[in-house]
Amino acid sequence: MKKYCKITPEGTRDLLFEECLTYRNIEKLLAGVFQSRGFHEVITPGLEYYDVFSQGESSIPQEFMFKVTDNKGRLMVVRPDSTLPIARLTATRLQNELKPLRLFYTQKVYHNYPSLRGRNNEINQSGIELLGASGVRADLEVLSTAVEALSRCVPDYRIELGHAGFFRALAKELPIDDEVRETIRSSIEQKNYAALDTILDRLEQSQAVLAIRRLPRLFGGEEVFDEAFGLCSEIQEAQEPLEYLKGLYQKLAKLGMGNKLMIDLGIVHRNDYYSGIVFSGYVLGSGDAILSGGRYDRLLEAFDSPMPAIGFAIDINALTKLMMDRGNLPSQKSADVLIHGDDGYEIKALDYSNSMKMSGLCCENSVLQTREAAVDYAKTKKIPRVDFVGAEIETKLL
């Protein structure tokens, strides 16, 4: 017997029955939110050329991508991200469209994690991209859309808000190369205080070093800004993103989001990708972020179509698991009637089934050989009625 014919690849899994219903229900809820706010759906190919994802600062590390070649030997990847393909799409198919563009998607991405650590390689995401718009209005629109999307699915979420420019300005003050900066960034993201201290202890102590050392702990409400401003009082470039972030936080608080919103200046994931605000969404019971996004104003330059942009993605897999664990399941409705055609009356039974469905009933057609088997099946599946189609129509209530 072939070794792998009965298992799924690492990082993937099958979905069954109630899980599929929950999954599709979430997709429908999110699509409804996005469409109600003027976003239009796009779908990008599951296969893209490697070049799409190797765009300078916005590159995805190649070890995180599944690679294949086409019939001409050109390197391709299984889609690891939706934002970069949508940037490509915008710069080509939509370059002459009126800006801003409001796009949304629901599609799978594939990550080749060297060590899974409980992660999925196959992730279904739903998200939005607002392209061609900058400033506080655009940021508020995307953040309020994220809040509405999460609130339609779960009540106990929180949004953590940061700014990519803050870490970038602090790191710029340090005498380090790109490799060390990436190690620092990774240590902050993972809240690995020991690794961070080991690196920073080797550097001459300065205000920037002190601020970066505190970065993973700069988390909380509006009081975080007071400490952050104190830590970078001599670094003007770091104060500008803080001022913007504080103003945005105060505006969001006026929307009644105060108890759902936290400041986290330690959000530094892929800071070369993001240029402005960054944010993550968490739900009680899920350790990893359910939602992540931010502003990426420089990304479209790589496709010769510079424009500001901001967006986010929601992990539907994680949201589905969370709702399943809570027992928050859509009802799986049994058929209203099982229709069994006697020998020689199979076509008449199919016609009868179609007419019953037209009247609004959920009908299942019997594929069993006898009336007795059809009745036993209906009892097991909790179908309350069986209609036998022969020379006459006979109904049996169960």
Contact in structure between 167 and 271 (CB atoms under 8 Å): yes
- Could you give phi then psi for residue 158, rounded to 5 degrees? -145, 150
Contact in structure between 216 and 196 (CB atoms under 8 Å): yes
Annotated binding site: 81-83, 125, 129, 273-274
Rounded distance between C-alpha atoms, residue 142 and residue 273, angstroms: 18
Contact in structure between 249 and 277 (CB atoms under 8 Å): no
Rounded distance between C-alpha atoms, residue 99 and residue 48, angstroms: 25
What one-letter code names the amino acid at 181?
Answer: R
Annotated binding site for L-histidine: 81-83, 125, 129, 273-274
* Both tokens assigned to 264: 């986290």
DSSP assigned state of 13? -
Q: Residue 137 class from Cβ within 10 Å (0-12 exposed, 13-18 middle, 19+ buried)?
A: exposed
Q: Where are the beta strands (DSSP E) in 72-200?
A: 75-78, 101-110, 122-131, 157-163
DSSP string, 250-299: HHHIIIIIGGGEEEETT--TTTTT--SEEEEEEETT-SS-SEEEEE-TTG
The phi-psi region of residue 77 (left if phi > 0; otherwise alpha if psi is between -120 and 50; otherwise beta) is beta
Q: Residue 98 class from Cβ within 10 Å (0-12 exposed, 13-18 middle, 19+ buried)?
A: exposed
